[in-house]
Amino acid sequence: MTLGIDVGHCNTKAVLLEDGFVSAKVLFRVAGSFEKAALGAWEKIREVTGIHESSRPRIFVTGVGRDKGFQGEGSPTEMASHVRGVYHWLPSARTILDLGAEGVRVSRCDHMGRLLHFVLNDRCAAGTGMFLETVAQMMQLSVSEMGSLALMGSPGVRLTSTCAVFAESEIVGHVHKGVSRQDILWAVHDSLGARVAALVQKVGPQPEVVATGGVARNKGLLKALERHLGFPILVLHEPEMMGALGAALLAADS
């Protein structure tokens, strides 16, 4: 029995494996410090399963809170965890795009699921899910609505800034000019897609290419990414849980 915990900037995820099968999983919003998030995940798993503290499984903690507060038996990197989680479901995967709230990580692995190379975004939050949430609030939309509306937009509107603050100013300017929400949202997603695509190219992407993380559910961003990269991007079931699943699998592997 192993438990993988993925502490993100916004959400904490946990996956419990028993004999290689998922027996429980939780996802909740991070409230307070990262130090308490992993412990909170273990407590929630205990509530769901009834596991006693004395029967604690082997725990691996990944994500931004992997080395803060609650310590498990291992602390694999986000890249290693997402690669392992994706490889479990799709052994043909070679390139993994982890699209998180405040970061983008692109990894490449071999036919055995071993991490070969990775790159991280070095820009500000303009290239992340937090920026999309900010835009959603500006446009008075839910994040889930944004991607679908973006697909209804047409090219022609461009965002030129790589800074979230300046990009917001550009968006306000387009709103005042009477540009439709759909066209503005397509410009937002296309701009993010171009930046993430430039990062992907640095690892020498090979198929299959899989997107993970909560932002992988955004159809508008995926469409923009595919447009800039020129090849399809797959999204597996529950992409936001891949890091936690991978950590649990790595705990079992060890």
pLDDT, tens digit, for every residue of 148-188?
999 999 888 888 776 667 777 888 888 889 899 999 999 99
Domain ranges within the chain, ordered by starting residue: 1-90+238-254, 91-235
The predicted structure's pLDDT at residue 158 = 84
Per CATH, 1-90+238-254 and 91-235 having the same topology is answered yes
How many percent of the chain have pLDDT more than 90? 63
* Pairwise CA distance, residues 175 & 24, whole Å: 45
Mean pLDDT of the chain: 90
Helix (H) or strand (E) holding 31: none
Looking at domain 91-235, which of 3.20.20.70, 3.40.250.10, 3.30.300.30, 3.30.420.40 is its CATH number? Answer: 3.30.420.40
Q: Once rounded to an integer, what is the mean pLDDT over residues 31-47?
A: 88
Q: How confident is the model at residue 68 (pLDDT cuts 50, 70, 90)?
A: confident
Give, to the nearest 10 degrees, the angle between helix 143-150 and helix 219-229.
40
Rounded to whole angstroms, the Cα distance separating 103 from 107 reads 13
Q: Does 85 score more than 80 pLDDT? A: yes
Which of 119-133, 149-163, 191-205 bottoms out in mean pLDDT, i.e. has the lowest?
A: 119-133
- pLDDT given at position 129: 80
- Mean predicted confidence (pLDDT) in 63-87: 90
Q: What angle do CA 186, 191, 194 make, to 5 degrees?
A: 120
Instruction: Mean pLDDT check: name the lowest of 37-41, 65-69, 78-82, 89-93.
Output: 65-69
Q: Does domain 1-90+238-254 have CATH number 3.40.50.261?
A: no
